[in-house]
Amino acid sequence: MDSSNPRSEDAALLSGGPEAFGRFYLRHEAYVLRFFIRRVRGLDAAADLCAETFARALEHRRSFDPSRGEGRAWLFGIARHVLAESVSKGRVLDETRVRLALEPLAIDDDSLERLSELADDIAMEALRELPGEQREAVEARVLEDRDYRELAVTLECSESVVRQRVSRGLRAIRDRLDGRP
C-alpha cells in the first residue's frame, strides 16, 4: 500500500477484506460524523446517518475510483445523498445497514463521549471564527460566567452592547452548528 498517496491507500483498503474496510472506517469516521453533527440535531441522528453512510460505502466499495479523488470525498458524496434522502423521507434511513444485516448502532458511554467531544470541538471552532468583539463577549459571559455589568466595564461599553454581542455571537454559533451559512 502506498501510504504517500491517500487515493491509493483508500483504494487498497476498499478492495480488501473486512479488516481493511475497518481501517478505512477508522480513518474517515470522525470526518463523516463531523459532517452530520454540523447538519442535524442530535448526536444519535448524526451517528445513525454516519452508520448508514458507511454501510452504503461497504456495499458500493467496488465503485470507488481513485482517479476521481480521495476516499473522503467519495464518502462525503454518499453522506450528502444519505442526508438528502433522510430529509425527504422525514426519517433517518437505515435500509442499507438492514439489507447488509449489520447490527444496529449501539451508542455506549465511550461512543457518546467521543460524539460529545466532536460536537464540542465544532462549537469551539465556531466560537473561534466569531469577530473579535463577539468572541470576547461570548467567552467571558458563557465560558467564564461573568456578569453583564462587569463585562460592560471591562469591555468599555454599555451593558446593552455586551448583551447584543453575546446574543449575536451565540446566534452565529447556533447557525453554524445547524449548518446555516
Q: Mean pLDDT over residues 36-42, rounded?
A: 78
pLDDT score recorded for residue 63: 87
Span 140-150, average pLDDT: 88
CA 12 to CA 7: how far, in whole Å?
A: 9
pLDDT higher than 80, residue 97: no
> Where does 129-177 sit in CATH, by number?
1.10.10.10
Domain with CATH 1.10.10.10 in the chain: 129-177
Q: How far apart are CA 43 and CA 107, in angstroms?
A: 10
Cβ 115 vs Cβ 37: under 8 Å: yes
Round to whole Å and give the CA distance between 10 and 94: 24
| Residue 4 identity (one-letter amino acid) | S
Q: In terms of Cα–Cα distance, which of 75, 73, 86 is closest to 39?
A: 86
**Least confident among 42-46, 66-70, 106-110, 177-181:** 177-181
Q: Which pLDDT score, from 0 to 100, does residue 168 have? A: 92
Instruction: Give the residue from 67, 57, 48, 62 showing the smallest Cα distance to 27.
Output: 57
Residue 144, CA distances (Å) to 116, 147, 150 in order: 20, 9, 12
Residue 88 is predicted with a pLDDT of: 75
CATH class of 6-110: mainly alpha
Residue 22 pLDDT > 70, yes or no? Answer: yes
pLDDT of residue 115: 65
54 exposed, middle or buried (CB, 10 Å; 0-12, 13-18, 19+)? buried
Instruction: Tell me what pLDDT residue 90 has.
Output: 67
Which of residues 125 and 41 earns the better pLDDT score? 125
Cite the residue boundaries of each domain of the chain with CATH code 1.10.1740.10.
6-110
Per-residue pLDDT band for 2 (boundaries 50, 70, 90) equals very low
